[in-house]
Amino acid sequence: MTRTIVESATKTVIIGFDEPFCVIGERINPTGRKLLAAELEAGNYSTIERDALAQVAAGANILDINAGVVYNSNPNPNETEPPLMRSIVELVQGLVDVPLCIDSSVPDALEAGLEAANGRPLLNSVTGEEERLEAILPLVKKYNVPVVAISNDDTGISEDPDVRFAVAKRIVERAADFGIPAHDIVVDPLVMPIGAMATAGQQVFSLVRRLRDELGVNTTCGASNISFGLPNRHGINNAFLPMAMGAGMTSAIMNPVALPISQKKIAEKKEAIEAAGIILPESMEDEAFVALFGMGSTKPLAGSEMQAIRAANLLTDNDPHGAAWIAANKPAGEAGGRAGRRRRRG
Amino acid sequence: MTRTIVESATKTVIIGFDEPFCVIGERINPTGRKLLAAELEAGNYSTIERDALAQVAAGANILDINAGVVYNSNPNPNETEPPLMRSIVELVQGLVDVPLCIDSSVPDALEAGLEAANGRPLLNSVTGEEERLEAILPLVKKYNVPVVAISNDDTGISEDPDVRFAVAKRIVERAADFGIPAHDIVVDPLVMPIGAMATAGQQVFSLVRRLRDELGVNTTCGASNISFGLPNRHGINNAFLPMAMGAGMTSAIMNPVALPISQKKIAEKKEAIEAAGIILPESMEDEAFVALFGMGSTKPLAGSEMQAIRAANLLTDNDPHGAAWIAANKPAGEAGGRAGRRRRRG
């Protein structure tokens, strides 16, 4: 039975065929987020702290740490990423106790993260590209860590799932040459947007089954890619994750935090409410407003990705006695009643 | 490629491996509903009418018609069910154009429904019980209709999925003796509650694959059984349906209407809202209240079973060009904005 062991100083996470699905939180990543990059350049780590705490509270089993910044003062990531990776790793493992996933395209940043991380982090990632194999596999061996293997190579990302399977197989074989066992390789078969490729779902489901049956490896994916470009992405993601789990996928890199509500949406809702003749109190906290008006909450919602995963854990017999499901889902009436009474005034 | 053809006077529904999932609406069923039985005894069919319209509006492809009443004036269903079945079938096919599923434990009620129904209804159901096989298969042959085959027999419902598969196989063989082809048999492999049997999900997924691969039959189930006795049943159902579809299930008998809101829940919500210092207008229609306070709506919600099914249709490449998904999911901002403007007063 394939088991990929990932550890922090105090916590062990097993990615495996008979384990609950492993959720790797993707939020700590400044790539393409100019505001966050500017904060980090100014030494402000408050967004990172919030993202770390919120993802663990939502149920992330592992946190991905990506330090992909472009600073105004220095546009060279080979110089800026390694020290930033070290800082973020140290910060995050001081805040939360889950294992980390060290994620970079810069090999020196990967090594900086591996040096700074406690326990046995997951490395993200190697590909089938020759240069990448030569750079990353020695790191995997040296630090004795598991690694995410993305199934593209020097020819790019193939639309043919057989080619992507062959790339994954070659990475597993090359890793074996370095003495790295298959159970330390977590293959990402690459999820295409279903809006661009109608067979994208079926490709993933059949690739995951083959990777599991023929290579005996664990699998992961950037789950939200599946819904790129389509309306109601959560609705698609919420069905995709259980289906991928049913096919045997054992982890995903994703946002575990339930439907974040924007200030704009809250303002729009207040406008609609007042237009309906409802009078709101002069001051009302966003959290109370959002809870009362059913716009979401910091807890997993009906329809959230984490809820879909918890239900699929139950349905694949990876939630002994349904304990995790029951703990996450108190009967609605009970919770609502209590909340109502607690909110009563005077 | 297995195709089960079900028809009304004007509409054809194909249950098949390469078709969108077939949703059989289960709401028209007075079994265990004393109030509805009393209404029907008094000749009041308004609940039936509402249930028919609401289920089709929510996306049901077929409506199940069950006339299982116990009247105060007559406790014998062999006498009361056949005429009631005929009345309901005639009423419903005057209201909506979807095909029907004639559902009864009383053979005379089945025949009354078959006589009254236009087109080619689905018959629900035969089992592996000897008496039932002898009573139902001749009806299936005589009326040339497809039939739901439930995989229990004279020994009851086996907890062993191999036994349930064997029962299904025997029904298919017995049907063949009557000249009924396998593509007119829709097997229900029987869904056990996951709260009572931890392997219930995996049993269904593997049975569905075997029924499809080895017997070449379409499949159905009473989908909500999976979550019986557990909190947040919708959350479990919403993951179960995509997983079952991923395994190859082609239809389900279920409630397609999104999270119905009870008057009790509305009253509780109003109390909580007023406790928070919000002043509601003196009169406010339930529909507007429920929409504003995010308690649900008559449209599919994020997290509804119909949404999960539509997403899984997309993910199994049974929604050409994603047209059905896109039609059902206008971007939330757009819809919200319009609703807000429409509700504005003066």
Residues B29 and B50 in one domain: yes
Q: Which residues of B touch A279 (CB under 8 A)?
A: 278-279
Q: How many whole angstroms separate alpha carbon B316 and alpha carbon B265?
A: 36
CB contact under 8 A, B302 and A302: yes
Regarding whether B192 and B279 lie in a shared domain, the answer is no
- Say whether both B274 and B136 belong to one domain: no
pLDDT digits (tens, 9 = 90+) for B182-191: 999 999 999 9
> Is A337 a domain residue?
no
Residues 6+ apart with CB under 8 A from A130: A153, A154
Residue in chain B nearest A340 by alpha carbon: B272
Over 50: is that where the pLDDT of B20 sits?
yes
Q: What is the pLDDT of residue B18?
A: 93
User: Is B117 within a domain?
Assistant: yes
Nearest CA-CA distance, residue B301 and chain A, Å:
9
Same domain, A175 and A209: yes
Best to test chain B binding among A232, A271, A299, A326 (most B CBs inside 10 Å): A232
Instruction: Compute the average pLDDT of residues B286-293.
Output: 70
Is A270 found in the same domain as A312?
no
The interface residues of chain B toward chain A in range 240-269, judged by CB-CB distance below 8 A, are 240, 242-243, 245-247, 259, 265, 268-269
Is A195 touching B (CB cutoff 8 A)? Answer: yes
Amino acid B336: pLDDT: 36
Residues of A in contact with B271 (CB under 8 A): 340
Q: How far apart are CA B161 and CA B168, in angstroms?
A: 11
Share of chain B above pLDDT 90, in %: 71
3-state helix, strand, coil in chain B (%, to 5): 50, 15, 35
pLDDT of residue A286: 67
Residues of A (74-113) whose Cβ lies below 8 Å from B: none
Cβ of A312 within 8 Å of Cβ of B243? The answer is yes
Looking at the domain assignment, is residue A241 inside a domain? yes
A62 and A40 share one domain = yes
N-to-C CA span, chain B:
59
B343 in a structural domain: no
**What is the total count of domains within chain B?**
2
Yes or no, beta carbons of A276 and B293 under 8 Å apart: no
Q: Is residue B30 very low, low, confident or very high in pLDDT (cuts 50, 70, 90)?
A: very high
The average pLDDT across B4-12 equals 98
pLDDT of amino acid A343: 36
A269 neighbourhood in chain B, CB within 8 Å? 336
Domain for residue B336, yes or no?
A: no
What is the predicted pLDDT for the residue at B301? 46
A86 lies in some domain: yes
Residue B253 pLDDT greater than 80, yes or no: yes
Q: Chain A, 266-325: which have a CB under 8 Å from a chain B CB?
A: 268-269, 271-273, 275-281, 284, 288, 292-295, 301-304, 307-308, 310-312, 314-317, 320-322, 325
Q: Which residues 34-53 of B are in CB contact (within 8 Å) with A? A: none
Instruction: Give the pLDDT of residue A328.
Output: 83
User: Given this model, what pLDDT does residue A334 score?
Assistant: 43
> Do A199 and A68 fall within a single domain?
yes
Q: Do A268 and B316 touch (CB under 8 A)?
A: no
Helix (H) or strand (E) holding A257: none
CA distance B26 to chain A (A): 22
Residue B345 domain flag: no
Task: Name the residue of chain B whose CA is nearest to A311's CA.
Answer: B236
| Nearest CB partner across the interface for A322, out of B230, B293, B331 | B230
- Residues B92, B67 share a domain: yes
**pLDDT score recorded for residue A149:** 98
Q: Between residues B56 and A263, which one has the greater pLDDT?
A: B56
For B150-204, what is each residue's pLDDT tens digit?
999 999 999 999 999 999 999 999 999 999 999 999 999 999 999 999 999 999 9
What angle do the packed helices A200-210 and A233-247 form, to 10 degrees? 30
Average pLDDT over residues B232-254: 93
DSSP letter, residue B193 = P
**Digitized pLDDT (tens) for each residue of chain A, 346 residues in all:** 799 999 999 999 999 999 999 999 999 999 988 899 999 999 999 999 999 999 999 899 999 999 999 898 999 999 999 999 999 999 999 999 999 999 999 999 999 999 999 999 999 999 999 999 999 999 999 999 999 999 999 999 999 999 999 999 999 999 999 999 999 999 999 999 999 999 999 999 999 999 999 999 999 999 999 999 888 788 899 999 999 999 999 999 999 986 555 666 777 778 888 888 888 877 776 667 776 776 544 344 445 888 899 889 999 999 998 898 888 876 544 433 333 333 333 3
Q: What number is the average pLDDT over the span B282-302? A: 60
Give a yes or no: residue B29 inside a domain.
Answer: yes
- Average pLDDT on B24-36 reads 93
What residues of B are in contact with residue A235 (Cβ under 8 Å)?
302, 307-308, 310-311, 329
Q: What is the mean pLDDT of residues B328-338?
A: 50
- Pairing mode, if any, of strands B12-16 and B3-7? antiparallel
Chain A nearest C-alpha distance from B341 (Å):
8
Q: Where are the beta strands (DSSP E) in B144-266?
A: 147-150, 185-188, 218-219, 251-254
Please compute the mean of the pLDDT values over residues B123-146 and round it to a whole number: 98
User: Which pLDDT score, from 0 to 100, does residue B291 have?
Assistant: 67
Cβ contacts (< 8 Å) between B245 and chain A: which residues?
Answer: 243
Does residue A331 belong to the interface with chain B, where contact is any CB pair within 8 Å? yes
3 state DSSP class of B129: coil
Instruction: Tell if the CB–CB gap between B243 and A315 is shorter than 8 Å.
Output: yes
Among A147-156, A273-282, B276-285, B287-296, the least confident range = B287-296
Within 13 Å and on the Cβ side, how many CA atoms surround B106? 22
Considering only CB atoms, B235 lies closest to which of A239, A259, A311, namely A311
Neighbours of A11 (CB within 10 A): 15
CA dist., res. B26 & res. B64, Å (int): 5
Same domain, A163 and A312: yes
Would you state the pLDDT for residue B346? Answer: 34
Q: Are residues A109 and A155 in the same domain?
A: yes
Are residues B224 and B280 both part of a single domain?
A: no
State the pLDDT at residue A303.
58
The domain in which residue A280 lies consists of 263-292
- Helix, strand, coil percentages for chain A (3-state, nearest 5): 50, 15, 35
Higher-confidence position of A100 and B297? A100
Mean pLDDT, rounded, for B114-136: 98
Asked whether the beta carbons of B245 and A243 are under 8 A apart, the reply is yes
Predicted pLDDT of residue A327 = 87
User: Which of A150-159, B68-77, B269-278 has the weakest average pLDDT?
Assistant: B269-278
> How far apart are the C-alpha atoms of A309 and A321, rounded to whole Å?
16
Asked which of B292, B311, B336 is the last residue of a domain, the reply is B292
- Please state the separation of Cα A206 from the chain's center in Å: 22
**Structural Rg of chain B based on CA atoms:** 21
In the prediction, which pLDDT does B257 show? 85
User: Nearest-CA neighbor of A60 among A2, A109, A119, A122?
Assistant: A122
- Specify which of A139-143, B258-262, B280-284, B339-343 reaches the highest per-range mean pLDDT: A139-143
- pTM value is 0.84
Q: What's the CATH number where B182 sits?
A: 3.20.20.20
Is the confidence at residue B339, as pLDDT, over 60? no
What is the pLDDT, as a whole number, of residue A186? Answer: 98
pLDDT for the residue A306? 86
The pLDDT, as a whole number, for residue A134 is 97
Contact flag B344-A247 (C-beta cutoff 8 Å) = no
**Inter-chain CB pairs, A–B, below 8 Å:** 222
Residues B170, B249 within the same domain? yes
